[in-house]
A and B are shown apart, each in its own frame.
Chain A
Amino acid sequence: MQSADVGDPSKANKAVKKSVKKERRKEKISNKGDSSKSQQQQSVQQFDGAVAPKSKAELRAERRAKQEAERAAKTLKKEEQAKSNKAKGPQVSANLQVDDPKVQKKAAKKLEKQQVPQRTEGHKKVTLFSHLHQYERSVSITKDIGFGSTGIHPAIIKLGLQYAEGIITGSNARCAALMNAVCHLIADYETPPQKELARHLESKLKPAISFLNQCRPLSVSMGSAIKYMKIKITKIPSDMSDDKAKQELISDLQAFVHVNITLAKQAISNSACSKISDGDVVMIYGSSSLIIHVLNAAFKTGRNFRVVVVDGRPKLSGIRALRHLCRAGIKCSYVLISAVSYIMPEVTKVFLGAHGLLSNGYVMGSVGTSLVSMAAKARGVPVIVCCEAYKFCERVQTDSFVNNEIGDPRDLLATDGSSSGPLIKEDAYKNLDSLKVLYLTYDVTPPQYMAMVVTELGMLPCTSVPVVLRVRSFDT
């Protein structure tokens, strides 16, 4: 029997062996007599010669064998592909390939499977950023989440809405709120029977994170926190009881926030304070919780300095910084970013916060950071960036186009009901086809504009980011 099959020229060797195995299995399950009859008939055929017509059963058997061979070849190919895929390296996220319809279809299917509602894209897109999502805030994203759906925990839904509405802003605040919500999720979590806590909890977290990503793209701080979460979950020993595992996880996550945000803040303040001297005029841009803390700490030590707050539309987050500083009693001035050249002759130092630090030394911050650094460097004013070490990421980027967050363009236009000002009204914007409005959220600053980065590990040059990442990956 084997020799007859080997002699057939239309089948590959491996496929043949597999089909043979399958035939043998079929023999065991099905009637022994039938299969042997077909085989006997087949072998009879081979001896007689290829001229005689084959019986129906023989043809069926041949067809079955061919199908199985093809199936075997397909599984082989898939395995090879999977191997080659693993050798490819880091994959580009679907969020950066919005102009590729195939990738978007796959992503949409994944979201559907996780029961996460999907946002609608805006209809007027800036072509330069067609590779990024350009959503328009139309209806609340949670409209489609019904009661009783077991997909996403309510604490996560609340968090997502807070992100989307801009109630929680700032990378530290977003990260701390995320950890808090995940702690709620873990506390309410119950492992279903027959499943392991580590694996099932991770599958519970995935739709939660997709949902938050849909509400507002994840920040670098959140990404770092999620990575830590996943590592901790996988490290849970399988023999630990569920309650104890949950408790440990919650305390680990809270420790993460405490160490990386609260303690780091204090360490950075201590070192950055030494950089502010009496008579300084410090310029800050926008509102960074860390920078406000640094300035408050410096003021408490009795240093005499004043602050210039530079602000950018449309967020106008500088006003929040202004309130914090004025309450502490620091003398402040306030300008918009277009007046930076006017005020720069008075400034002696610039302190900037960062959203994240990239591996090639570039600093990702709120849009306008690069402009302020460039203007300061042109006048010889030192620029000091304060950033916690958990915001360092392995990404590399050289310009602000390849990866960014595009906000709702209507935030830049006239608000409804305001009196006739120079801002374009929304219906005028809709009617003019050639008019587009771009609301960038982040930009990247090259390292040559910055004097140094102050982290809790010390004062480093911008280019030391990969070193710190390496050190931290050895620690965890």
Chain B
Amino acid sequence: MDQFILDLKQEKFNGSYDLAYKVINHLRKLISQTRWAHAKELMGVIRKEGKQLVAAQPSEYVIGNMVRRVLKIVREEYVRLLGKSEEFANTESLHKMLTSAETEDEKYMKSLKELKTTVMEAVSEYIDEMDASIHNIAAQAIEHIHSNEVILTIGKSRTVEAFLKQAAKKRKFHVIVVEGAPLYHGHELAASLAAHNIETTIITDSAVFAMMSRVNKVIIGTHSVLANGGLKAVSGAHIVAQAAYQHAVPLIVLGAMFKLCLLHYSDIGGSEATFNRLASPHRVLDYYKAGSQDLCNVQVYCPTFDYVPPELVTLFISNIGGNAPSYMYRLLSEMYHPNDHEL
């Protein structure tokens, strides 16, 4: 357990899929290895572990998402085994509150033999669903891309890559990739797309507004989707979104459902600032130049993420289909239980 927390602190994962995978496997191991008597105890164990994981890497919301998802799975399985419908566990109607036989403390305390196996099965099913999420999103590509379109994308997202490659099997279109300084992930994406014979052009970040008048769609991936439908995306995504909005170009965001998180965006700075992560400024202004006498007092910023407000996003495509950003908050109730919002 400690090794995993250390890995999280040192950021030894690449990409959200990888991290989500690792977290949920870790939780599955936890469920099978620890001893627990009933559902409430199990949830307590998961919650405690979840708090530690989230504290190790607070800027990665996927960790919290996975923990809450597992808690929701546990609740659902418990209720199902008791014979009641799943919706019963969710709705908090006045009638239910007055007539329910169990009190808050007694809930989830019935000891059920099959709970462990069913929970393990449900978690494995969820892992399979996560595995297939990129494939499900890519399968929708052909509905959204038509021939001779010019598509703009920024940074490197595995989902966008699979999406475009799938569409390229049937349609001919042109992709403009913004290089995304200072990490230059765009170069990797462009090389990969060009190797698949997709017409690709690399442009610098500064040329986005100039090129936008010729672009038909902007398709980007995202790190997380916030509860209001906003995005936590790669640095530079906000200006791309604004330029697209100014030119009335639709912005399509691709992301699997596990990226949807409960948090809202706030501008909090200081020690509570977990929204943005500042990477080493060496990439922006290297030590050779910045260390010189002239420039030693310059503050150099290298933010990794950008907040994109929901007004700039036209469509979300996830593994369960397409949605408007104003609908995203409803999907939260399907994924997480309201009692789990605070771990």
Q: How many chain A residues touch B (Cβ–Cβ < 8 Å)?
A: 52
Q: Once bound together, how far apart are the Cα atoms of A72 and B289, in whole Å?
A: 72
Instruction: Determine the distance from Cα of A366 to Cα of B206 in the docked complex, in whole angstroms.
Output: 9
Question: 8 Å CB contacts to A: which residues of B81-122?
Answer: none
Q: Is B230 an interface residue (CB 8 A)?
A: no
A412 in contact with B204 (CB, 8 Å): yes
- Contact among A313, A334, A335 with B206 in the assembled complex (CB-CB below 8 Å): A313
| Inter-chain CB contacts under 8 Å: number | 166
Q: Whole-angstrom distance between the alpha carbons of A443 and B204 in the complex?
A: 13
Residue of A nearest to B191 (CB): A424
- Given the interface pairs A338-B235, A339-B302, A367-B210, the reply to whether A438 lies near B246 with Cβ below 8 Å is no
Bound CA–CA A375/B204 (angstroms): 17
Main secondary structure of the interface of B (DSSP, over half): mixed
Q: Which residues of B contact A380 (CB under 8 A)?
A: none
Q: Is there contact, CB below 8 Å, between A338 and B201? A: no
Contacts of B301 in A (CB 8 A): 333-335, 339, 342-343
Q: Is B202 an interface residue (CB 8 A)?
A: yes
Q: Of B42-50, B181-189, B330-338, which stretch is located at the interface?
A: B181-189
- A401, CB-defined interface residue at 8 Å: yes
Closest B residue to A445 using CB positions = B209
Task: Determine if A145 is an interface residue (Cβ-Cβ < 8 Å).
Answer: no
- Chain B residue contacts of A326, Cβ below 8 A: 294-295, 297-298
Of B181, B201, B243, the residue contacting A336 (CB under 8 A) is B181
Interchain CA distance A412-B202 in the complex, whole Å: 9
Decide if A422 touches B185 in the complex (CB within 8 Å).
yes
With A338-B235, A339-B301, A422-B184 as known contacts, state yes or no: A323 contacts B295, CB within 8 Å: yes
Per-residue interface assignment for chain A, residues 374 to 387, with 1 indicating a CB less than 8 Å from any chain B CB and 0 otherwise: 11001000000000
Do B199 and A422 touch across chains, with their CB atoms under 8 A apart?
no
Contacts of B242 in A (CB 8 A): 341, 374-375, 378
Contact residues on B (Cβ < 8 Å of other chain), bracket:
35 or more
- B205–A336 touching, CB < 8 Å: yes
Main secondary structure of the interface of A (DSSP, over half): mixed
A358 at the interface (CB under 8 A from B): no
Question: In whole Å, how far is B57's beta carbon from the nearest beta carbon of chain A?
Answer: 21
Q: Which residues of B contact A336 (CB under 8 A)?
A: 181-182, 205, 284, 302
CB <8 Å contact, A370 and B210: yes
User: Are the CB atoms of B207 and A331 closer together than 8 Å?
Assistant: no
| Least CB distance, B318 to chain A, in whole angstroms | 24
A370 and B209 form a contact (CB under 8 A): yes
Q: Give chain B residues whose Cβ lies under 8 Å from the Cβ of A443.
A: 206-207, 209-210
Q: Which residues of A contact B (CB under 8 A)?
A: 126, 128, 312-314, 319, 322-323, 326-327, 331-343, 345, 366-368, 370-371, 374-375, 378, 399-401, 412, 421-424, 428, 432-440, 443-444
Contacts A319-B285, A371-B239, A435-B190 known; 8 new A-B pairs at CB < 8 A: A326-B295, A334-B284, A334-B298, A338-B235, A342-B303, A375-B242, A400-B210, A440-B204
